[in-house]
Amino acid sequence: MKPAAKSATGPAAKSAAEPAAKPVIPTPPMPVVLKAVALQKKFGAVVAVDDVSLSVRQGSIFGFVGPNGAGKTTTLSMMTGLLRPSAGQVLVGGFDVWREPIEAKKLLGVLPDRMRLFDRLTGAQMLYYSAVLHGVDREKARARIRDLGDVLELDGSLQRPVRDYSIGMVKKISLATALIHAPRVLVLDEPFESVDPVSTSQFVDLLRRFAAGGGTVILSSHNMDLVERLCDEVAIIVAGRILAAGTLDEVRGPTSLEERFVQLAGGHAAVEGLEWLTTFSD
């Protein structure tokens, strides 16, 4: 297997020595559709994301995992044109997201975390709005609203204002909003958060079908099991740097992804510091 996504280059790689050499299975490599080069984001003096480089190949599902505040949302926002990077470059289908935003954004479908929708619109209006903003015509938009409503089981709620939706329903309509213009690359920030198990498995099926048809998915999640089940490739980001990246097997090694993640994120050290917790006050 060829390492589809190169591990982070430059200073970020020093802590994560990934064995690059592996037996190569001769499949023609798919083209890289999303490439981030040395992305950096500073907020004042604080460096939130430093030197993040990634390559995601067409047809893959790429999982982006990291502890809270590691810079997942910041990185994904920079990749989708929502947050201007302090340095670095993002290419989607060969177009620079920050130099040729119109061309690049046509190829992108985005589900950001913790941002509202125009929630006075009904679900159907919201989907139509996003479709037309991405250049879909009226008839196609209507047909796709029906299809997405069926697949995500939204059809009963599409005529209600989005502000009346539950959090899980908002995630569903957000996913549909990201999908409606048939993007080449889907960037989903925490798509499974507060989604019930039935809907999660709907999402998973949908994303697998999307990837099998030549689409590409980048998603962030806290749910390691789900990432292990769904993703072909993963990157672990801690404190703004990518500590490990590659195929799922390369990153997790002989252990599970969760163990590897906790090991890289330094979770054990934190727990060790709390000896007083077991001295029990009685």
Partner 1 sequence: MVDHVLRLKLALLTSSFRSGPTLNRTIAALALALAVAVAVAIVVLGATVDVANAEHRAGIVIVGAALSVALAITPLTSGLGSAMEPRRFASFPLSPRRLAVSLGAAAAVGVPGVLAILLGVGLESAWSETPTGGAAVVAGVLAAAAIILTSQYLVVVGIQLAVSPAARQLVTAMARAVIAVALAVAVTTVLVVRSGENGDTLVTVAGTLANTPVGMLWAAPGSDLAALLARLLGGAAMLAVLIAGWGFIVTRLLVSPQRERAVHHAAGLGWFDLVPATQAGVIAARSLIYWTRDARYRLVLFALPIAPLLMMLAFAIAGTPVPPLWLLPLPVLALFLGWFAHNDVAYDHTALWVHVAAPLKGAADRWGRVVPPLLIGVPLIVALAPLLALWSGVEGVLPALIGVSVGLLLTGLGVSSVASVVGAYPAPRPDGGPFDQPPTLGVRAGWSQSLALLATVAFMTPALVVAWWGFTEPEWFAIAGIAGVSTGIGMLLLGIIIGGRAFRRRAPELLDLVLRT
Give the footprint of partner 1 on this chain (CB under 8 A). 80-84, 101-103, 105-106, 108, 110, 112, 114-122, 124-125, 128-130, 132-135, 137-138, 141, 159-160, 163, 177
Taking the complex as a whole, the smallest distance from the CB of residue 249 to partner 1 amounts, in Å, to: 33
Which are the contacts of 54, defined by CB distance < 8 A and separation ≥ 6?
5, 8, 34, 35, 36, 62, 235, 242, 245
> Residue 100 and residue 81: Cα distance in Å, rounded?
10
Taking the complex as a whole, the smallest distance from the CB of residue 161 to partner 1 amounts, in Å, to: 8
* H-run or E-run covering 55: strand 46-57
Q: Quick check: 123 and 159 in contact, CB under 8 A?
A: yes
Residue 128 or residue 203: which is nearer to partner 1 going by CB?
Answer: 128
Residue 55 or residue 130: which is nearer to partner 1 going by CB?
Answer: 130
Residue 21 or residue 102: which is nearer to partner 1 going by CB?
Answer: 102
**Among 127, 156, 154, CA closest to 142:** 127
Taking the complex as a whole, the smallest distance from the CB of residue 81 to partner 1 amounts, in Å, to: 6
Residue 161 or residue 267: which is nearer to partner 1 going by CB?
Answer: 161
Residue 4 or residue 145: which is nearer to partner 1 going by CB?
Answer: 145
Q: Quick check: 61 and 248 in contact, CB under 8 A?
A: no
Q: Quick check: 58 and 216 in contact, CB under 8 A?
A: yes
Taking the complex as a whole, the smallest distance from the CB of residue 105 to partner 1 amounts, in Å, to: 4
Q: Looking at this protein, which amino acid is placed at residue 36?
A: A
Taking the complex as a whole, the smallest distance from the CB of residue 144 to partner 1 amounts, in Å, to: 13
